[in-house]
């Protein structure tokens, strides 16, 4: 790709994909969000619209800016609508097969041979996704954090094949266009943040699982005793317990360290559909305003 990134595509309009699309649109970029079908695309639009409205209500964004951002957003159920993009960010479910399928398809669809294909994966090796394309030098990890419009960090993760110019272009884009702070990580499962965070969350789960302390007391201990803004089990609920399990399993498969293995309680909760805030119940329960109780 030559020139500035002005046309962005996002594959996946869930919590993360919608957040990524929102920050791109707010930064003045024409952004196309691709979902699996028309119903999912409509929900993605509703998700972004609601987030922009919350920002207005909280005084973080003025209404004309929110309305302008919406005019720069398009929602589709067809990957072909991403053909003219300069940058496409994949944000589908944390599953290797699903992500690989997306990258193989994008490689054929995105017309500019210099366009950059990025993944928002939390733990899947970037190399594996890059090798599904014929342009592995233009593939890298661009890992945002939830909620994307609020948290300033982005991890930039090149694989062994990623060209230096690709890394520079994406770091410049994230920093200068989106206003994010970037850190760079090697292509190892978990990258910097989750390699440190997930063992901490799993330790908290094991503590609650064993009856050593209640979920409320574990969280209160870290919030009030260590000045953490959110306790580990509330944070796991926010991330999504299914996502925590997926990252933990990827970490365990790569490093074979017991501290990365998801505890039985966590796996059972995911099997039961108790995924945290997005389902209304995890280690805590949540009302419509998503407050833990």
Contact present, 144 and 130 (Cβ < 8 Å): no
Catalytic residue among 22, 90, 120, 122: 122
Catalytic residue among 138, 143, 161, 284: 143
Contact present, 149 and 51 (Cβ < 8 Å): yes
Contact present, 175 and 181 (Cβ < 8 Å): yes
Other residues' Cβ atoms within 10 Å of the Cβ of residue 48: 24
Other residues' Cβ atoms within 10 Å of the Cβ of residue 102: 22
- How far is CA 124 from its chain centroid? 12
Catalytic residue among 159, 185, 194, 250: 194
- How far is CA 43 from its chain centroid? 17
Own/partner long-range contacts of 59-64 (Cβ < 8 Å, ≥24 apart): 61/26
* Integer Cα distance of 231 and 253 in angstroms: 27
Catalytic residue among 22, 35, 90, 155: 155
101 noted as active-site residue: no
Express the helix, strand and coil content of the chain in percent, nearest 5 each. 50, 15, 35
120 noted as active-site residue: no
122 noted as active-site residue: yes
Q: What is the DSSP string of 102-160?
A: HHHHHHHH---TT-EEEE--SSS-HHHHHTTSS-GGGEEEEEE-SSTTT--EEEEEE-T
Catalytic residues: 122, 143, 155, 194
């Amino acid at each position: 790709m030559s020139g500035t990134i002005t046309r962005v595509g996002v594959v996946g309009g869930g919590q993360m994909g919608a957040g990524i699309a929102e920050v791109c649109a707010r930064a003045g970029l024409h952004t196309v969000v691709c979902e699996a079908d028309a119903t999912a695309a409509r929900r993605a639009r509703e998700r972004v619209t609601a987030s922009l409205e919350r920002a207005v209500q909280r005084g973080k964004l003025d209404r004309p800016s929110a309305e302008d951002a919406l005019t720069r957003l398009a929602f589709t159920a067809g990957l072909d609508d991403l053909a003219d993009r300069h940058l496409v960010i994949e944000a589908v479910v944390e599953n290797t097969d699903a992500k690989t399928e997306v990258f193989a398809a994008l490689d054929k669809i995105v017309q500019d041979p210099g366009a950059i294909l990025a993944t928002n994966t939390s733990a899947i090796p970037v190399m594996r996704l890059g090798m599904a394309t014929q342009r592995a030098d233009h593939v890298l990890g661009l890992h945002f954090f939830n909620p994307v419009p609020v948290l300033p960090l982005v991890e930039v993760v090149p694989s062994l094949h990623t060209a230096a110019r690709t890394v520079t272009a994406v770091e410049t884009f994230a920093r200068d266009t989106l206003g994010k702070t970037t850190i760079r990580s090697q292509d190892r499962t978990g990258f910097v943040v989750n390699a440190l965070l997930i063992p901490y969350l799993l330790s908290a789960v094991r503590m609650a699982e064993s009856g050593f302390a209640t979920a409320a007391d574990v969280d209160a201990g870290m919030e009030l005793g260590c000045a953490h803004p959110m306790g580990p089990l509330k944070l796991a609920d926010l991330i999504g317990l299914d996502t925590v399990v997926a990252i933990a399993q990827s970490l365990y498969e790569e490093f074979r360290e017991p501290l990365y293995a998801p505890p039985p309680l966590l796996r059972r909760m995911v099997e039961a559909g108790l995924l945290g805030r997005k389902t209304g119940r995890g280690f805590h329960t949540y009302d419509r305003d998503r407050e833990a109780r």
